[in-house]
Structure 1
Amino acid sequence: MLNKLKAMQDEFIQIRHEIHKNPEIGMCEFNTARIISDKLKEFGYEVYEGIANTGVVGVLKKGSSNKKIGLRADMDALYINENNQCEYKSKNEGLMHACGHDGHSASLLLAAKYLADCDFNGTINLIFQPAEEGRGGANAMINDGLFDRFSCDYIFGYHNLPSKDNKLFLLKKGAMMAGASSLKITIKGLGGHGSAPEKASDVMGAMANFILQASMICSRNIAAQNSAVITFGAALCGNESSFNILQDEALLLANIRTFSKEDRNIIYEQLENIAKAIEISSKVKITLEFNLIAEATINDDEAQKLAFSVACELFKEENCDENHLALMGSEDFSFMLDKVKGAYAFINNGNSAYLHDANYDYNDEILHLCAAYYVGVSLKYLQ
């Protein structure tokens, strides 16, 4: 299989380069979706377009079995200016495939072409998802009837991972990636003159106090053996001319990551308690706006076992890691795993620039290996 896929992959490297050259942000992947749909039709799949705006599903059924498997790849790019000088460098100013979703889509298309000529008994649902990068694509597809229309017994996905690790295939039982929430904190009060603080609210002091107290939540409220983090990405209050002004409003932007809903709820509650206390002490009004970006990505035990056995057969056991460290990064494939048993894996991209870096590029040398993983889990389950 590996040799055949490698012999086939040049066509799909070119498709990957075409998608990379024309990156599209989440929910606007119209050209990418068209390329995918056209290829799936060429390979003989039933193709369903426009799911959650730009999502595509290709369906291939053979035999009489009711068994069904789902394979998922994401399609969207990021708001990043590309530094690479390759011939397929992004033509869209300010946008690039800095996370490898171009490679994910191309590898699933390669798997699709290979599977079209295979014998199996059941149904394969190929799911090309829009808007993974924090724009709600997985939930949008689910809410648009994804699993009602294309039911799956199991669903599998992967992400490339730049790494110096000598292992090719990386997997973990249970939580593979953290859940993530964004938080917008608005602090409002009475502005005034710097010489008369008693006549105004201390909005900036409240902001500083909130950051300081919030930074203690994880170390004093989350069990020591668990991992959680709160990161403040922006603190906005006043400007470079505000030497003698007590501001009337401040804005904080933060990110929260945990491996369980229970720990996330503890952090939410503690942040609300801190806000109430500071409102009293600083004469301000604090509004917290939480937005759940992704749940923790938790692999099902049965699906994880199937995925790892396939990887060992394909890549040899010494090249596979079944106990890889969980990452604090998040993945909205987690919402699909909430609905269907499944597993999410990492496949080593080599020692490249890291994800979301302007110098990152998906490694074409792993394209056929990633396709082989998709093919392998499908044929093993639908044998």
Structure 2
Amino acid sequence: MAKQMKEAPAVPPELLSWMCEIRQSIHHNPELSFNEYDTADYVRSKLKEIGISRQWKVTETGVVAEIGDPGSSSVVGLRADMDALPVKEETGLPFASKHTGIMHACGHDGHVAMLLGAAFLLQGMSFPGRVRLLFQPAEEKGNGAESMIAGGAIDNLAAIFGGHIDTHYETGSITVDEGIICAFADAFIVTINGSAGHAARPHECKDAIVAAAGLILSLQSLVSREVNPNHAVVVSVGRIRAGEIHNVIAGEAVLEGTIRSTHQDSRTAVISGLKRMVRSCAECYGVQVDLQFPEFLPAVINDSVGTQVARQAAEKVVSSGNVISQGPSSLGGEDFSFYLQKTKGCLVRFGARISDTAGPAHSSTFDFDEAVLGIGASWYAQVAETFLCGCGDR
């Protein structure tokens, strides 16, 4: 029998204004993965400002805090990521980045503001158990969550919830989906070693650039001819480094890319095919080829319990008509996946479309509707209360 849920916590105008100030301050002073020192200090000061003294560091720049009964064994986690991207900002905002080449281009500044707003709301709410707030470094680098886990940030958690600002959706909507919502992400590096020489005497060399070009063209058939067409897969080479001068044949080329997939069998097939093509490249061009997989992000898979709680909370915050599906799984990666390998939980998306002039996430002109901060704060507080109060059948 489902219990009656309380009304979602309201966000007064002064709290929204406070969150906007926080977002803009963090946006103005962005920091890259594992360098969020000023951001972490700022978060700790804001927690102290609203009376939250139970806080501690995890890793060098992670911050964890708790609200509620310190003696309770029932603990739910809420996570926000804090790091920026190596992007030169071109928004023209009055609070644009003061650090050239670094920008909050993915909404993490907003996530921090939301979770601090939720902390304020939770301070005035009554619930059993404890709420643990995780301000996480290095989501963009892909291993910030792992560092938080290693540091004990999710020890004894019964569940964890998170949200991501997404300008594909209208402000006032929250996407909630069970199952895979973000892809497996496998980064790869291919190093091709041939032999350098004069551009006028190619027969005396082993051209690494020609071998690299052949391999890149071959990779395009991996998805079109080796993957079930009903399964979403992307193979992209994002960086090539080769050569020093126009009249010297390059002896080395390095390719860096990523594989994104939403089905384990397709992921296995593409990785196997990449390995085969690397071997063939070496044989075909008479070069040495080394393949490495330096990073791996598992898929974000929302479980049924976490999804039920997240949906109940979202319906209280934005009404059932505005709780929507994101549609097909995103091919983006998200290290929230590491938390969901350890405990129950759910990652949602907060609609925050602002204007046609704002660019997409990870672009130099990215921006979002700050009205989403109130929605996110209310949902974070509501989802914690919903889980701890045992609302819904589980």
Specify the TM-score bucket, using the shorter chain as the normaliser: over 0.9
Distance 1:255 1:128 in 2: 27
- Counterpart for residue 375 of structure 1: 381
- Counterpart for residue 191 of structure 1: 196
Return the letter of the residue paired with 1:361.
D
- Counterpart for residue 141 of structure 2: 134
Gaps of 5+ in 1: none
Distance 1:288 1:145 in 2: 33
Say which of 26, 46, 52 aligns to 1:19. Answer: 26
Please say which of residues 316-325 and 158-167 is displaced more in the overlay. Answer: 158-167
- Counterpart for residue 151 of structure 2: 144
Contact 1:46/1:60 (CA < 8 Å) preserved in 2?
Answer: no
Q: State the 1:82 CA deviation.
A: 1.5
1:131-183 deviation line (CA, Å, top 9, x unaligned):
111252111111222223xx211100011001255771112221111121221
Return the letter of the residue paired with 2:369.
N
* Pair 1:34 & 2:37 matched: no
Q: State the 1:87 CA deviation.
A: 2.4
Q: How does 1:245-256 map to 2 (within 5 A)?
A: 245-256=248-259
1:247-295 deviation line (CA, Å, top 9, x unaligned):
2111211111112444333222211111112212211000112122421
SS in 1 for 2:76: strand
Query: Which segments of structure 1 move beyond 6 Å, counting only runs of 4 or more?
Result: none
* Pair 1:73 & 2:76 matched: no
- Counterpart for residue 369 of structure 2: 363
Return the letter of the residue paired with 1:215.
Q
- Counterpart for residue 5 of structure 2: none
Q: Under a length normalisation based on structure 2, what TM-score does the superposition of the two structures give?
A: 0.90
Distance 2:226 2:178 in 1: 25
Q: How does 1:1-383 map to 2 (within 5 A)?
A: 1=8, 3-62=10-69, 65-148=72-155, 151-163=156-168, 165=170, 168-194=173-199, 196-239=201-244, 241-242=246-247, 245-322=248-325, 324-352=327-355, 353=358, 354-383=360-389
Distance 1:64 1:102 in 2: 32
Cα gap change, 1:44/1:98 in structure 2, threshold over 3 Å: closer, same or farther? Answer: same
Q: State the 1:239 CA deviation.
A: 4.8
Please say which of residues 320-329 and 260-269 is displaced more in the overlay. Answer: 260-269
Cα gap change, 1:178/1:6 in structure 2, threshold over 3 Å: closer, same or farther? Answer: farther
Distance 2:169 2:15 in 1: 27
Distance 1:195 1:95 in 2: 42
Please say which of residues 255-264 and 86-95 is displaced more in the overlay. Answer: 255-264
Q: State the 1:55 CA deviation.
A: 0.2
Contact 1:202/1:283 (CA < 8 Å) preserved in 2?
Answer: no
Gaps of 5+ in 2: 1-7, 390-394
Q: Under a length normalisation based on structure 1, what TM-score does the superposition of the two structures give?
A: 0.93
Return the letter of the residue paired with 2:381.
V
Please say which of residues 293-302 and 58-67 is displaced more in the overlay. Answer: 58-67
Return the letter of the residue paired with 2:39.
T
Please say which of residues 350-359 and 60-69 is displaced more in the overlay. Answer: 60-69
Distance 2:157 2:381 in 1: 16
Report the RMSD for the aligned CA atoms in angstroms: 2.0
Return the letter of the residue paired with 2:130.
T
SS in 2 for 1:364: coil
Return the letter of the residue paired with 1:80.
V
Cα gap change, 1:363/1:131 in structure 2, threshold over 3 Å: closer, same or farther? Answer: same
Identity %: 32
SS in 2 for 1:94: coil
Cα gap change, 1:64/1:252 in structure 2, threshold over 3 Å: closer, same or farther? Answer: closer
Please say which of residues 198-207 and 221-230 is displaced more in the overlay. Answer: 198-207
1:327-373 deviation line (CA, Å, top 9, x unaligned):
11111111111111111111111144211121222321111110011
1:16-56 deviation line (CA, Å, top 9, x unaligned):
11111111111111111111112223333344433121000
Distance 1:63 1:134 in 2: 33
1:296-351 deviation line (CA, Å, top 9, x unaligned):
11111111111112111221111111353321111111111111111111111114
Q: State the 1:65 CA deviation.
A: 4.9
Please say which of residues 319-328 and 154-163 is displaced more in the overlay. Answer: 319-328
Distance 1:8 1:348 in 2: 20
Cα gap change, 1:222/1:5 in structure 2, threshold over 3 Å: closer, same or farther? Answer: farther
Please say which of residues 281-290 and 254-263 is displaced more in the overlay. Answer: 254-263
Return the letter of the residue paired with 2:179.
G
Cα gap change, 1:230/1:280 in structure 2, threshold over 3 Å: closer, same or farther? Answer: same
